[in-house]
Structure 1
Amino acid sequence: MIITPKLIIDQLTAGIPMPAQTVDRLKPGSPQMEVRGIVTAFSASQHVIEQALALGANFIITHEGVYFSHQDHQEWLEHDSVYRQKANLIANAGLGIYRFHDGLHRSKPDGIMEGLLHELEWQSYVTEHRTEVSILTIPVMEAEAVAAYVKRKLHIPYVRIAGKLSVSCARVGILVGYRGSGAAAIPLYEQDNLDLIIAGEGPEWETPEYVRDAARQGNNKALIMLGHAESETPGMKLLAERLSAAYPGLPVHFIKDQPVFQVV
C-alpha cells in the first residue's frame, strides 16, 4: 500500500474537532504523493529542510509555520532574499509540508503538552488536564532545583526564572507555547494554589511582573520560562515515535534544531 500525506493526515486528525479557520494545512505538496520518509520538527527551518533532504525524507510535519508568521502569510516577504531562497529550496525539492498545530493542541490530552510531560517524566504527577494548562503535584523541591531538572531533562542550555529561587514548589502549572500571558497564567496562582508556573513564553510585562510584585510582598511564587520552541519541541519528538510505530516500514525521523537564541 502506498502511504500518502492524506492517509497520514486523516489518521492524525481522526476524531479531533478542528476549528473552521485553521492554520493546519498541507502546503506545499500533493495529498496523493508517495511518502518516502517523514521528518517531524518544531518548525520547518532551513536546517530542518536540509536535514530532511539529506535523510531522503519528502514529507515534513511541522508544528509552526514555514514563513515566520502564525497565519503563514507570505505576501509581505515576496522581495525578501531569505524567503526566496527558502521557498526555492522547498519547491525544487518537491517536499510536502504539513503544519500540525491546531489539531495537535486539540487532541486529548494536548499532544504538545503530552510530549513535554513525557520528556520530563512527570506524567504520574498530573492531577488535572485542562484545555490550556496541566496541573501537577510534584515532589517538593526549590524553584532553582526545578529549573536545573528541567534543563537537564530537556537538554536545553538555559531557562529564565522569576521570583524567589529558594521557594518550595509542589503545586505546578504547565502552559506550553504562547500561553504564558497574564490572563492565562496569573489567575492560576490563587485559583489553584500554585507555587510555580512553567510556561513557554508570554509578554514579559505581564506574568513576570506579577511574580516580581508577589515576591516583593512576601508571597512566594515562581515562574520558569522555557522558550516557545523548548516547550513544544518534545511534543513533535513524541509524535515521531508514534508515527514510527504506526508505519513500521517507513523511515520516520525527529529533528531537533539548535536553540534560536544564544546567551552571551
Structure 2
Amino acid sequence: MQMEPSRSSHTLTTSYTVQQVMEHLFHADQHTIRERQSTGTTVDGLETGVADTIVTGIATAFSASQRVIQQAAAQGANVLVVHEGIFYSHHDQRERLHDDPVYQAKCTLIEQIGMHIIRLHDAIHLERPDGIMEGLLGQLGWRQQVVEEMAVWSIVELEQPLQLQQLAQWLKQQLAASYMRLSGESEQICQRIAVLVGYRGGATHGLPLLGRDDVDVLIAGEGPEWELPEYVRDAIEQGRSKGLIMLGHAESEQPGMQWLATRLAAQYEGLPVTYIPNEPVFRVI
C-alpha cells in the first residue's frame, strides 16, 4: 500500500517526551488501559526505549519490520508507533527467541538506532468508533454510507450496488493491494456489506453477520480458512447469495495507522510525523 506520508509543517516550540506521547495515544479509555497494564492483560505499551526521552519525530506503521525501523530513523523519527507486535507474536514472548539470530539482529538494530517503539493495539480498538475501522472506512470513502455500527463491525450500504468480482477489484485498487481473496459467485450483487478489520474474520464475529438476510457480503482482514469460507460455500450450495472478501490483515489495518499519523500531526504541531506503509508480506505466484 503506497500512500503519501502525513507531516506537520510548523516550527516546533514545545518538547514532548515519549511518556507524554503514550499518554495521548492511550487516552481512548485511560482507566481500562491502565488497569490492563497493571494486570498484564494488554499488549499496549513501550516495547523498546526509555519513557522520559525527548521526541524528535514520530512515525506510525502497521508493524515494526526491519525496513520500517530503518526508514523511520532515516526520516528523523526516534519514536515508532505500531499496531502489531515487534517480535512475531500478539503477546510479547521474546524470551523464547533469546538465541534466535533474526531476533538478536533486530534487537541490535533497534539499540544502535535508538528507536523507541510504542505498541498501540488495544487502545485504538477501544476508541468509539474503532480507530482502525475509521481509517479503513475513510480510505474507502464509506464513512457516510455506514448504516449500522457496533464495537467490532460496521455495515455499509452502497449507493450503487456492485457485483462481487467488481467489488473485490475496486477494493484492490483503493487499498493498492497486491491481491484480494474472495469466496462466492462472481456476479452476485452486493449492496449491504459487513466490514471487519484485522483478525476478526472468523466464526465468532463473522457468522452472525453472514447469517443476516440483509448482509450480502462480508469484508474482513483475515481469519481461519475453514470457518467463514466453508459457510459461504455451503450457503451457495443451498442457493443463498453470500460473498466473502479477505483483504489481508495488514491491508485492512494499515489505513488506521495512516489515519493515526494525521491525528498526531495535528496534535503535535511542528513535530515531524510520518506514516510508513509496510510492504505486502506475501506474493502470489
The reply to whether TM is greater than 0.5 is yes
The residue that corresponds to 1:200 in the other structure is 221
Matches within 5 A, 1:195-234: 195-234=216-255
**Aligned residue among 106, 109, 117 for 2:137:** 117
Q: Aligned partners of 2:186, 2:120: CA distance in 1, in Å?
A: 36
The whole-number CA distance in structure 1 between the counterparts of 2:238 and 2:223 is: 23
Report the equivalent of 2:23: 10
Letter in 2 for 1:13: F
In the superposition, the TM-score normalised over structure 1's length comes to: 0.97
Q: Indicate the residue corresponding to 1:81 in structure 2.
A: 101
Aligned pairs (5 A) from 1:1-264: 1-16=14-29, 17-18=32-33, 20=36, 21-139=41-159, 140-191=161-212, 193-264=214-285
SS state at 1:211 partner: helix
Q: Structure 1 CA distance, aligned partners of 2:264 and 2:124?
A: 13
The two structures have a TM-score, normalised by structure 2, of 0.90
Give the superposed CA RMSD.
Answer: 1.1
Structure 2: segments with no counterpart, 5+ residues: 1-13
**Alignment deviations for residues 164-202 of structure 1 (CA, whole Å, 9 cap, x no partner):** 111111111000000010121011123362100000000
SS of residue matched to 1:6: helix
Give me the whole-angstrom Cα distance separating, in 2, the residues matched to 1:15 and 1:261.
33
Distance in 2, Cα, partners of 1:182 & 1:167: 22
Residue type at the aligned position of 2:26: T
* Runs of at least 5 residues in structure 1 that lack an aligned partner in the other structure: none
Deviation of 1:72 after TM superposition, in Å, equals 1.7
After superposition, what is the alpha-carbon deviation per residue over 1:17-45, rounded to whole angstroms, capped at 9, x for unaligned?
32621100112112210100111000000
For this pair of structures, how many residues does the alignment match? 264
Q: Quick one: distance in 2 between partners of 1:88 and 1:15? A: 33
Letter in structure 1 aligned against 2:250: A
| Residue identity in the other structure for 1:164 | E
CA gap of 1:200–1:151, structure 2 versus 1, over 3 A, is: same
Q: Distance in 2 between matches of 1:43 and 1:12?
A: 16
Mapped to 2, the partners of 1:173 and 1:204 lie a distance apart of 18
SS in 2 for 1:60: strand
Structure 1 runs (4+) greater than 3 angstroms displaced: none
Q: Which amino acid aligns with 2:143?
A: Q
AA in 1 matched with 2:54: E
Q: How far did 1:9 drift?
A: 1.6
| Amino-acid identity (%) | 47
Give the Cα–Cα distance (whole angstroms) in 1 for the partners of residues 25 and 102 of structure 2.
Answer: 32
| Shift in Å, 1:5 | 1.5
Tell whether the 8 Å contact from 2:200 to 2:221 is kept in structure 1 after alignment.
Answer: yes
The letter of the residue matching 2:110 is I
- CA separation in 2, counterparts of 1:31 and 1:88? 19
Whether contact under 8 Å (2:57, 2:79) holds in the other structure is yes
Q: Which has the higher contact order (CA 8 A, sep 6+)?
A: 2
- Between 87-96 and 223-232, the greater mean CA deviation after superposition: 87-96
Check 1:141–1:206 CA distance in 2 against 1; reply closer, same or farther (3 A cut): same
Per-residue CA deviation, residues 120-149 of structure 1 (Å, 9 max, x unaligned), is 000011012211111111131111111111
